[in-house]
Amino acid sequence: YSEKGFYVPWYIFAFLVISLLSSMIPGNIVKFVEPLSTLAFSITLASIGVTVRVSEVQRVGVKPLLASYVGWFIALTLFLFALILIGF
């Protein structure tokens, strides 16, 4: 949220446009572009990690880390429960 109102980062719109466009691409082209997609995703995650400041992580403390672990555990539990329900 900013002074001008609700702020939506530009990459959210880019993601939506690319998602819509990707649904219109033929399957044989998707197979060709898939490695590029994986590379782009890896670069994106790396750039997020590079911009993390250790001092900021130390300032916010351990609570966000614990919250992420709890969220991950809940998601994993629900996933495994769903697998049991479908008999996989």
Same domain, 27 and 5: yes
CA distances from 64 to 12, 40, 60, 72, 77 (A): 23, 27, 8, 12, 20
3-state DSSP assignment of residue 5: strand
Residues 66, 41: one domain? Answer: no
- Check whether residue 26 and residue 44 sit in a common domain: yes
pTM of the model as a whole: 0.46
Tens of pLDDT along the chain (88 residues) come to 456 677 777 888 888 888 888 788 888 888 888 888 889 889 988 888 888 888 888 888 888 889 999 999 999 999 999 999 998 7
* Residue 88 structural domain: 60-88
